[in-house]
A and B are shown apart, each in its own frame.
Chain A
């Protein structure tokens, strides 16, 4: 998250909003966002609605406990998906930004 925050402005410049969904409740999000001073949209999903939706409809989410990232373009299509194999397995911002710049802007 700190890594993403650092480059947030670069994502904004490439016309990209970042939405972070997680299983915590709103209060936990609020506390964490305040503590870490995060600029993203935080989406509490304690009932795993979004996770289930994506797991069922796109079959892209293996219902594991690892982080995942997904880029959706302006037409609503999925253009990039990454599944972490561990909690620290997160794509480099540069990879995401390059894709946004070269193929999605």
Chain B
């Protein structure tokens, strides 16, 4: 089940959050660490 490639550059993404505010990974570059959680559904 090895699918991990550590220490590679994460591909940038850009999507709107649920309030319509644009969020991209590059917004955080050199500013913050980011934890991305892929959720499979809330319900």
Q: Inside 8 A of A65's CB, which chain B residues have their CB?
A: 40
Chain A residues, CB < 8 A from B29? 74-76
Residues of B within 8 A of A60 (CB): 3-5
Q: List 8 A-B contacts (CB under 8 A).
A: A18-B37, A19-B35, A50-B15, A50-B36, A51-B38, A58-B8, A74-B28, A77-B7
A33/B18 in contact, CB under 8 A: yes
| Size range of the chain B interface in the assembly | 35 or more
The main secondary structure of chain B at its interface with chain A is: loop
Chain A positions within 8 Å of B, measured between CB atoms, are 1, 4, 11, 14-24, 26-30, 32-33, 40-45, 49-51, 53-54, 57-62, 65-81, 83, 87, 96, 100, 104
Asked if residues B33 and A100 are in contact (CB atoms below 8 Å), the reply is yes
- Docked-complex contact B11 and A58, CB < 8 angstroms: yes
Q: Which residues of B1-26 have CB atoms within 8 Å of chain A's CB atoms?
A: 1, 3-13, 15-20, 23, 25-26
Query: Once the chains bind, are B3 and A16 in contact (CB under 8 Å)?
Result: no
* Among A26, A32, A96, contact of B35 (Cβ-Cβ < 8 Å): A96
Q: Is the CB of B35 within 8 A of A16?
A: yes
Beyond A58-B8, A77-B7, A83-B4: 14 further Cβ-contacts under 8 Å? Answer: A1-B42, A14-B33, A17-B35, A19-B36, A43-B15, A43-B18, A44-B15, A50-B15, A50-B36, A54-B10, A57-B11, A58-B10, A66-B40, A78-B9
